[in-house]
Amino acid sequence: MGSFIIVLILITCFLLVAVVLIQNPKGGGLSAEFSSSNQYMGVRKTADFLEKATWALAIILMSLSLASSFNKPSQGEVQESEIIEQIENMPDPIQNVPNLPQQIPTPTN
């Protein structure tokens, strides 16, 4: 279930990026292409649709993010990672100090 929600979040993110990039803050973008010849949707309706799509995708993204946070496993189901196991099983570094010579050897000429 968790991976399904993550896939939905990724799809929503890509759609949201596409819708935002289509818009132009100065009134151009996709809505400017329909202004001259085709008045079926018109400039205003295209801008309204893109704004509603942006809000809908943002709400969907927030909802899916909240759903993914509730879908995480409980404390009993969490398995320890291999790194934590290696740290716990590591020998004590103080007891495993190698035996070093106590005196510095003097050079013989």
- DSSP class of residue 40 equals S
The contacts of residue 15 (CB under 8 Å, 6+ apart) are 57
| 13 in a structural domain | yes
Residue showing tokens 């946070």: 69
Number of domains in the chain: 1
| 77 in a structural domain | no
Separation of alpha carbons 67 and 9, rounded Å: 10
| 96 in a structural domain | no
Domain residues for the domain of 23 are 2-71
pTM: 0.53
Q: How confident is the model at residue 7, as a pLDDT?
A: 93
| 85 in a structural domain | no
| 7 in a structural domain | yes
**Tens digit of each residue's pLDDT (9 = 90 or more) over 32-88:** 555 454 455 555 677 788 889 999 999 999 999 999 888 766 555 445 677 788 778
Provide the H-helix boundaries in 1-109.
2-22, 30-33, 42-70, 82-88
